[in-house]
């Protein structure tokens, strides 16, 4: 393996929690609306999200969390976005740089929170 020019931190499954969520839009409303969850104890407004279960895809987790936290069924809405991921039919080595793709329903945000250092 080549040595990276950039700092690398690797985490094992015991060291991180993966959450999945969604931004719920009501496209039929005028004006269009976005669904937020109010956390009463913290008095914070947030987007729908929660922990991904074992053997559950990120898409499944996001839709389950939307249903559990809001009572609304949702569907993934494909959008154009830039990503460093190669295309599904990658034929050759792709440079590690963002490329714009249309019709994606991929994760687009990662947030890191420091957890306890205890095992």
Over the chain (119 residues), what is each successive 10-residue block's mean pLDDT?
Answer: 81 89 89 93 94 95 95 91 90 89 88 70
Q: Do 57 and 87 have their domain in common?
A: no
Q: How many domains does the chain have?
A: 2
Q: Do 26 and 55 have their domain in common?
A: yes
> What is the distance between the alpha carbons of residues 80 and 103, in angstroms, rounded to a whole number?
6
> What is the distance between the alpha carbons of residues 87 and 24, in angstroms, rounded to a whole number?
26
Domain range enclosing 90? 78-108
For residue 42, tell me if it sits in a domain: yes
* C-alpha 68, offset from chain centre: 17
Q: Do 70 and 99 have their domain in common?
A: no
Q: What integer pLDDT is reported at residue 118 of this predicted model?
A: 63
> Are 61 and 52 within 8 A, CB to CB?
yes
Task: Cite the DSSP H helix spans in the chain.
Answer: 58-70
For residue 116, tell me if it sits in a domain: no
For residue 117, tell me if it sits in a domain: no
Q: What integer pLDDT is reported at residue 1 of this predicted model?
A: 59
CB neighbours (10 Å) of residue 61? 20
Q: What integer pLDDT is reported at residue 43 of this predicted model?
A: 96
Q: Do 27 and 71 have their domain in common?
A: yes
Task: Cite the DSSP H helix spans in 20-57.
Answer: none
Q: What integer pLDDT is reported at residue 119 of this predicted model?
A: 54
> What is the distance between the alpha carbons of residues 58 and 21, in angstroms, rounded to a whole number?
8
For residue 1, tell me if it sits in a domain: no
């Amino acid at each position: 393996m080549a040595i990276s020019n950039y700092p690398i931190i690797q985490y094992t499954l015991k060291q991180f929690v993966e959450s999945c969520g969604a931004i719920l839009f009501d496209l039929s409303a005028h004006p269009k609306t976005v669904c937020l969850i109010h956390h009463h104890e913290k008095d914070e407004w947030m987007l729908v999200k929660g922990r991904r279960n074992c053997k559950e895809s990120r898409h499944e987790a996001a839709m389950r969390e939307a249903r559990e936290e809001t009572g609304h069924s949702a569907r993934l809405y494909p959008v154009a976005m830039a990503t460093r991921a190669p295309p599904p039919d990658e034929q050759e080595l792709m440079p590690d740089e963002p490329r714009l793709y249309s019709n994606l329903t991929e994760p687009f945000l990662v947030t890191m929170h420091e957890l306890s250092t205890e095992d």
